[in-house]
Amino acid sequence: MADPGIEKLVERATELAQQRCLDDAAALLDEVLTAHPEHLRALDVLGFVRFFQQRYAEGEALCRRALVIKPDHAYAHKGLGLHLAKQGKLDDGVAMLERAIELNPTWLDPYWDLAVTLFEAGQHERALAVLERGASAIPAERPRLTAFQRRIATAVRSAADRGQ
């Protein structure tokens, strides 16, 4: 049975992370992981924190730890993909984001994150295709994904107009 005290710490750390109180969240999560190094949710949330702190190598290590515990954990694959891409390992990052989609094809986040990653890498057509795949897989999210497609198309046109 899970320790309710530990679970409360993880929940509080999650709230802090969502509020972008990153150092406070990390301190709580470090405490949890010292006592329970295989606490999957704590690894996930600390990976999220490390991403927003731009500590990508640390986040990568946390995601890899989570994948040792649960190899088909879509959230860890998504996080690993983002951390790898931010470290310049685009192909590996894209592969991990694609794996997250494969594991949970009706979860919006990996489609969104993959599209952003590809857009930031200048791969606009691939980003648009990912958004279309997401809209097909998750019809309820089509309006949101279509709006993102329009923003990408507008940014591409604007850059072309500026001669970039």
pLDDT in tens, 118-151: 999 999 999 999 999 999 999 999 999 999 999 9
What pLDDT is recorded for position 164? 62
Q: What is the pTM of this model?
A: 0.91
- More reliable by pLDDT, 161 or 48: 48
- Identify the three-state secondary structure at position 138: coil
Higher local confidence (pLDDT), 164 or 43 = 43
Residue 37 burial (C-beta neighbours within 10 Å; 0-12, 13-18, 19+): exposed
Q: Do the beta carbons of residue 46 and residue 36 sit within 8 Å?
A: no
- Report whether 149 contacts 128 (CB < 8 A): yes
Right CATH for 1-104 from 1.25.40.10, 3.40.50.11740, 1.20.120.1730, 1.20.1050.10: 1.25.40.10
CATH 1.25.40.10 segments of the chain: 1-104
Q: Which residue bears the tokens 């600390």?
A: 46
**What pLDDT digit, counting tens, does each position of 69-82 carry?**
999 999 999 999 99
Diameter of the chain measured on Cα atoms: 61
